[in-house]
Amino acid sequence: MKKILHFIDGEYSNPVSDLWIEGINPATGEIITQISNGDVRDVEKAFQAATRAFSIWSNYSSTERFQILNRIAELIEENLEELAIAETIDTGKPLRLSKEVEIPRAASNFRFFATASLQFASESHSMNQAINYTLRQAIGVVGCISPWNLPLYLFTWKIAPALATGNCVIAKPSEMSPSTAAMLGELCNKAGLPKGVLNILQGEGKGVGNAIVNHPGIKAISFTGGTKTGQHISAIAGPMFKKLSLELGGKNPCLVFDDCNLELTVSEVARLAFSNQGQICLCGSRILIEETIYEEFKNKLIEKVSKLIVGDPLDPKTQFGSLISFEHKKKVQSYIQLAIEEGGNLLYGGNEIQLEGRCKNGSFISPAIFENLGPKCRTNQEEIFGPVITLQKFKGELEAIELANDSVYGLAATVWTENVRKAHRVAQKLNTGIVWINCWLLRDLRTPFGGMNASGVGREGGLEAMRFFTEAKNVCVYYN
Ligand code: NAD
């Protein structure tokens, strides 16, 4: 059985506790790995290594950092096939998604922040007879904790800017998707990253994750995951005055106006609802449709979704794979049951799927589409994080905005209209950190990324990330 080890001080090691978690392939139900279950002792080892490395790494020039981080990007690309297969086996997501989106994006994250380290500059403010300049200095040892849904993609989205700004990192992937993070350690060694600069700890959130957050020497925590976990982390890190970036859950609205390009919108709504089996924080789950096109849109959407190829995630034709785990499947099924109890009309799917062959014991369910559920019901308020969407009707712009904003979350929204004035007006009024107009998941890594309200605090991406991972120090020089 393959063992997933910690990567501390440039070397792979067993957990001090010698405790292990079983890693399960959700598409087959097979136990595939034994994962190190780290604890506070492993965090301390990693912290010591990171502290030693900090004096070296923070003194590297930006060009030296660029060269190493850029080399990591190249190595991710050179190992794309192997990384994509590992990602798909851990998570049950279609291989084409891993190959075409996730692993390439992990490489882009490193490349983007490698070049950002060359470009990053700080401000100066001149006064009469004095000048202020602001230093942006590395914080020290920082913690990065990421979820299972886009494993290497979100892991590197944090690690790359933390390293680019001269910090040393203690990072933890989700215990549900540890493999690609573990593989990254070896690539970092090959790229010449000094030992101890990046330490990758494996294990459960309540153990090793909690120990990272509680460690007094780890000065900043960048976390992506569920809102409840974010609250817990915030309660610990807040009183310790740690810098905190929280990217949390969502319940994203999708506003379809009757003047949209119907064919494009139907196709893109099917994609934004069910990519990665609805397990992307940016997936739309509340589909709001102008009443004049409601029936037509609904029928076309059902037809489109019914054509999604559900199957073995390793089959290159598969468009819709398994859910992340059997436990998560149960959670999603309980929401489907709840939606029915709340009076929802199940228009399509929601049933358990039993495939033949290798995947006959996998955690598959078909994409579910509901209607007749009011905005206040739990199905429309709580994050399901699976392939379940609801359709709601609206009449005019104001009602669309009201429905869209009727949520504790505020991560991302999409707006579908050919009327450019309306698109801008609506975008201004939506309470979300991201608005896509006539597109979805189109990402420019320079733009701020993140949500408001229960979807998080702070933004990642571009300068926002570079600023988060540095301390600003103003120096005022009087020269009269
Ligand atoms: P989760 O909160 O259960 O876990 C996320 C990570 O935190 C994992 O590595 C986990 O081990 C760790 N963790 C859990 N408890 C911890 C604790 N007490 N202390 C420290 N670390 C702890 O989330 P998940 O189930 O892995 O991911 C799904 C959630 O992530 C969804 O809510 C989704 O919306 C959200 N998400 C948000 C974004 C975003 O950018 N806003 C992106 C992806 C996923």
Q: What is the pLDDT of residues 109-118, one digit of tens each?
A: 999 999 999 9
Specify the residue with its C-alpha closest to ligand 1, atom 8.
Answer: 174
Specify the residue with its C-alpha closest to ligand 1, atom 11.
Answer: 205
122 touches 134 (CB < 8 A)? yes
Q: What is the pLDDT of residues 334-389, one digit of tens each?
A: 999 999 999 999 999 999 999 999 999 999 999 999 999 999 999 999 999 999 99
> Does residue 241 come out as left (phi exceeding 0), alpha (psi in the -120 to 50 range) or beta?
left
- What pLDDT score was predicted for residue 403? 98
| Closest C-alpha among 30, 89, 94, 21 to residue 361 | 30
Q: Is the CB of 443 under 6 A from ligand 1?
A: no
Domains 2-248+453-477 and 252-437 share a fold: no
Specify the residue with its C-alpha closest to ligand 1, atom 39.
Answer: 247
Q: What is the pLDDT of residues 419-433, one digit of tens each?
A: 999 999 999 999 999
Domain ranges of the chain: 2-248+453-477, 252-437
Ligand 1 mutation pick, 101, 224, 228, 229, max ligand atoms within 8 A of CB: 229
| Closest C-alpha among 241, 72, 157, 102 to residue 466 | 157
- What pLDDT score was predicted for residue 38? 98
Kind plus residue range of the DSSP H or E element containing 465 = helix 462-468
The answer, yes or no, to whether residue 401 has pLDDT greater than 90, is yes
C-alpha of residue 146 to centroid of ligand 1, in Å: 6
Q: Which residue has the tokens 């933004």?
A: 459
How many Å apart are CA 155 and CA 20, to the nearest integer? 22
145 touches 237 (CB < 8 A)? no
DSSP helix/strand/coil, 159: helix
C-alpha of residue 173 to centroid of ligand 1, in Å: 9
The answer, yes or no, to whether residue 79 has pLDDT greater than 90, is yes
Q: Is the CB of 210 under 6 A from ligand 1?
A: yes
C-alpha of residue 247 to centroid of ligand 1, in Å: 9
Counting atoms of ligand 1 from 1, which one is nearest the CA of 150? 43
Ligand 1 mutation pick, 144, 174, 449, 453, max ligand atoms within 8 A of CB: 174
Q: How confident is the model at residue 286 (pLDDT cuts 50, 70, 90)?
A: very high
Q: Is the CB of 250 under 6 A from ligand 1?
A: yes
Alpha-carbon distances, residue 285 vs 46, 272, 299, 308, 382 (angstroms): 39, 9, 17, 17, 10
Counting atoms of ligand 1 from 1, which one is nearest the CA of 173? 9
Give me the percent of the chain exceeding a pLDDT of 70. Answer: 100
Q: How confident is the model at residue 30 (pLDDT cuts 50, 70, 90)?
A: very high
Q: Is the CB of 207 under 6 A from ligand 1?
A: no
Q: Is the CB of 385 under 6 A from ligand 1?
A: yes
Counting atoms of ligand 1 from 1, which one is nearest the CA of 449? 40
Counting atoms of ligand 1 from 1, which one is nearest the CA of 233? 19
Specify the residue with its C-alpha closest to ligand 1, atom 14.
Answer: 205
How many Å apart are CA 262 and CA 274, to the nearest integer? 18
Counting atoms of ligand 1 from 1, which one is nearest the CA of 451? 41
Q: Is the CB of 247 under 6 A from ligand 1?
A: yes
Counting atoms of ligand 1 from 1, which one is nearest the CA of 203? 11
C-alpha of residue 230 to centroid of ligand 1, in Å: 8
pTM of the model: 0.97
Q: What is the pLDDT of residues 174-222, one digit of tens each?
A: 999 999 999 999 999 999 999 999 999 999 999 999 999 999 999 999 9
Q: Is the CB of 145 under 6 A from ligand 1?
A: yes
C-alpha of residue 92 to centroid of ligand 1, in Å: 18
Q: How confident is the model at residue 10 (pLDDT cuts 50, 70, 90)?
A: very high
Alpha-carbon distances, residue 392 vs 22, 241, 417, 437 (angstroms): 41, 43, 17, 19
Q: Is the CB of 383 under 6 A from ligand 1?
A: yes
Counting atoms of ligand 1 from 1, which one is nearest the CA of 456? 41
Q: Is the CB of 232 under 6 A from ligand 1?
A: yes
DSSP 148: S
| Closest C-alpha among 283, 238, 233 to residue 409 | 283
C-alpha of residue 412 to centroid of ligand 1, in Å: 17
Q: What is the pLDDT of residues 436-477, one digit of tens each?
A: 999 999 999 999 999 999 999 999 999 999 999 999 999 999
Tell me what the pLDDT averaged over the chain comes to: 98
Specify the residue with its C-alpha closest to ligand 1, atom 36.
Answer: 225
Q: Is the CB of 203 under 6 A from ligand 1?
A: no
- What pLDDT score was predicted for residue 480? 87
Token couple for 282: 């940016």
Q: Is the CB of 281 under 6 A from ligand 1?
A: yes
C-alpha of residue 227 to centroid of ligand 1, in Å: 8
Q: For the structural domain made of 252-437, what CATH number should be given?
A: 3.40.309.10
Catalytic residues: 247, 281
Q: What is the pLDDT of residues 220-250, one digit of tens each?
A: 999 999 999 999 999 999 999 999 999 999 9
113 touches 464 (CB < 8 A)? no
Topology adopted by domain 2-248+453-477:
Aldehyde Dehydrogenase; Chain A, domain 1 (3.40.605)
